[in-house]
Amino acid sequence: MELRHLRYFVAVAEELHFGKAAARLHISQPPLSVHIRELESEIGTRLFDRSTRRVSLTPAGEAFRERVTVLLATLQDAVIEAADFGAGKRGRVRVGFVSSASVTILPRAVRRFRDTHPSVEVKLDPLTTREQLEALRTNSLDVGLVRTATVDDDINIEPLLTEPMVAVVPKEHSLARLRSVAPAQLAHERLVLFPREMMPGFVGQVWDMLRDHTVQLNVVQEAIHHETVVGLVSAGVGISILPASVSRVQTPDTVILPIDGAPSSSLMVATRAGEDSVIVTEFLRCLHTSAPASA
């Protein structure tokens, strides 16, 4: 049974006139009559009662029309849906992000993407840099927003936002009275930092900045998210060194200080090498257009 036979049948069933159905289908009437007879022969029963004056559906034809109409509508929906997936209008994009991305680029990018791709699901996962890179390699993530990182050839990575590192100290700390601090003034402080194994690039930069002033960092507590680190500093657990965008989650009990000669930290976007998904490409475009000149 050919799909065109079903379409021919529906046209005749709706018009109840072979001449009008043939005109609608842009074919001549004799071939249409032949195709309908072939369909009836394959099914094994008449679908139409024909006379010189009128055409009507048989009970079998009525039942067949109900099923075929639904079938063709479902098929059309499937065709449209498949085309939409291919064009990036439907589907899913899985995005991982470090906490600083949630107060800088990510919210604007998601809003832009949802405005132009309302039928695409955006799945957001807060993950560390290392977790994101591993997830990209195992195909459980499509886009990663990571901190400064060194990657292998299987991952593409490019900067979105570069910002200086700053010191975050409790309001009652002696350093809080200063306008800025030197690395030497931070080297022997109790530190609250990201776990080095999860954020190796960023913590490596902190160590490089302080290594000339101490043989070992005094890390008293590790925490993953900006908000958690700031909360710990606010409680007096220690001080921290974070990207400048931390100012967006600053609490009244903390002070943020520029660091003299501090290195810059980059928020970067990572994807699998060779990624050619239309949806991923569109999300990357929204990320780049959402990136501010600075934090």
The confidence score (pLDDT) of residue 252 equals 95
Question: What are the distances in angstroms from CA 137 to CA 132, 141, 142, 273?
Answer: 9, 8, 9, 10
Q: Is the dihedral of CA 12, 18, 20, 25 positive or negative?
A: positive
**In the chain, ranges of CATH 1.10.10.10 domains:** 3-86
Q: Is 22 exposed, middle or buried (0-12, 13-18, 19+ CB in 10 A)?
A: buried
Contact indicator for 148, 264 with CB cutoff of 8 Å:
no
CA distance 155 to 268: 12
Task: Provide the mean pLDDT of the chain.
Answer: 91
CA distance 127 to 31: 63
pLDDT exceeds cutoff 60 at 163 = yes
Q: Give start-end residues of each CATH 3.40.190.10 domain in the chain.
A: 91-160+266-290, 164-263
User: Which residue from 114, 185, 104, 184 is spatially nearest to 145, judged by alpha carbons?
Assistant: 104
Fold type of domain 3-86: Arc Repressor Mutant, subunit A (1.10.10)
pLDDT in tens, 76-116: 878 877 776 776 667 899 999 999 999 999 999 999 999 99
Query: What CATH class has 91-160+266-290?
Result: alpha beta
241-287 residue pLDDT tens: 999 999 999 999 999 999 999 999 999 999 999 988 899 999 999 99
In CATH, what class is 164-263?
A: alpha beta
